[in-house]
């Protein structure tokens, strides 16, 4: 593992590391924010999953989360959104291939040889973080859009592994919307039954743990009606008694200006669960 960036930030350090990922079979980068508290004690970790087209850079440069992580003593880990490199399959479209890993394990060629973001985020990255940094095994998870889908599905599929979960503008029902149908057909094949294992609305029905979900959604989000459809999450949570706080934010769009405006609330939510 090699450190490729190192910046002082709010009394701690915003770093970027590069390493050879076993699950993904390629070199990967992730951002890690180390709050000032880790000089003395180990800190819990919030994993952030970014959306389509993002790398590890978007969150660490645009979300302004470091101020709150320093306040609460939380390590932030922000991985890239897919495997990368010349030997990795790709597509010209922004919503498939590199930059669009959808936090699943692909079963279909040519994607299946590298697109294992689920294994990377759930197992490989936490093992690396907890063995290489002053991190405890208390974990929370959050994300945006495709990354909100990743955070919600990963928390629902791994009861007990995360202390809290939240999302900004998540894709809550990928089996029902264009982004998800396109990606899941490519990565998982034509049978929609195989897609349900990575669909939040489907997973809510059989969740083993009713971990409260915090979601913020912009009212002027350009993807709201077609791709995100938070009403489907609300209906599923109501029907199955799953605790949900869905904050509708009039006037906000899908951008990091929206995330930046409410990231402090999400950090406070996770800090309470992680303490």
Ligand X SMILES: N[C@@H](CCC(=O)N[C@@H](CSC=O)C(=O)NCC(=O)O)C(=O)O
> Footprint of ligand X on this chain (CB under 6 A)?
51-54, 58, 62, 94, 144-146, 254-256
User: Which of the following is catalytic: 23, 50, 82, 145?
Assistant: 145
Around Cβ 245, how many Cβ atoms within 10 Å? 13
CB of 185 to ligand X, least distance (A): 17
Q: Give CA 275 to chain center in angstroms.
A: 21
Half-sphere exposure of 214 (CA within 13 A, CB side): 19
Residue 240 falls in which region: left (phi positive, over 0), alpha (psi -120 to 50) or beta:
alpha
Residue 35 vs 99, nearer CB to ligand X: 99
Residue 44 vs 148, nearer CB to ligand X: 148
**Residue 254 falls in the annotated catalytic set:** yes
> Which distant-in-sequence residues (6+ apart) come within 8 Å of 168 by Cβ?
142, 143, 144, 145, 148, 215, 216, 217, 258, 259, 262, 266
CB of 149 to ligand X, least distance (A): 8
User: Which of the following is catalytic: 15, 80, 216, 221?
Assistant: 221
Residue 51 vs 126, nearer CB to ligand X: 51
**Residue 145 falls in the annotated catalytic set:** yes
CB of 61 to ligand X, least distance (A): 9
Assess whether the previous peptide bond of 110 is cis (omega < 30° from 0): yes
Whole-number Å distance between alpha carbons of 97 and 197: 20
**Residue 261 falls in the annotated catalytic set:** no
Handedness of CA 27, 187, 100, 65 (dihedral sign): negative
User: Which of the following is catalytic: 254, 266, 269, 270?
Assistant: 254
CB of 87 to ligand X, least distance (A): 24
Residue 163 vs 254, nearer CB to ligand X: 254
Write out the catalytic residue numbers: 145, 221, 254
């Amino acid at each position: 593992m090699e450190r490729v960036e190192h910046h002082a930030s709010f009394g701690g350090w915003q770093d970027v590391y590069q390493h050879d990922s076993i699950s993904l079979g390629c070199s990967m980068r992730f951002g890690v924010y180390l709050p000032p508290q880790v000089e003395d004690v180990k800190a819990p970790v919030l994993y952030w999953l970014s959306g389509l087209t993002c790398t590890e850079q978007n969150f660490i440069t645009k979300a302004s989360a470091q101020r709150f992580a320093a306040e609460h003593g939380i390590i932030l880990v922000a991985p890239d959104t897919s495997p990368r490199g010349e030997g990795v399959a790709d597509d010209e479209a922004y919503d498939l291939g590199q930059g669009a890993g959808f936090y699943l394990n692909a079963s279909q060629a040519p994607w299946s040889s590298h697109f294992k973001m689920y294994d990377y985020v759930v197992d490989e990255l936490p093992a690396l973080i907890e063995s290489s940094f002053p991190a405890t095994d208390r974990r929370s998870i959050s994300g945006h859009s495709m990354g909100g889908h990743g955070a919600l599905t990963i928390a629902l599929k791994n009861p007990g592994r995360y202390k809290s979960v939240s999302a900004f503008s998540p894709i809550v029902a990928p089996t029902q919307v264009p982004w998800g149908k396109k990606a899941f057909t490519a990565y998982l094949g034509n049978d929609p039954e195989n897609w349900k294992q990575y669909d939040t609305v489907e997973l809510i029905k059989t969740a083993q743990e009713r971990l409260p979900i915090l979601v913020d959604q912009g009212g002027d989000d350009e993807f709201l009606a077609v791709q995100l459809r938070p009403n489907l999450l609300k209906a599923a949570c109501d029907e199955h008694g799953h605790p949900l706080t869905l904050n509708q934010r009039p006037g906000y769009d899908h951008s990091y200006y929206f995330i930046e405006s409410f990231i402090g609330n999400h950090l406070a939510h996770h800090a309470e669960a992680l303490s």
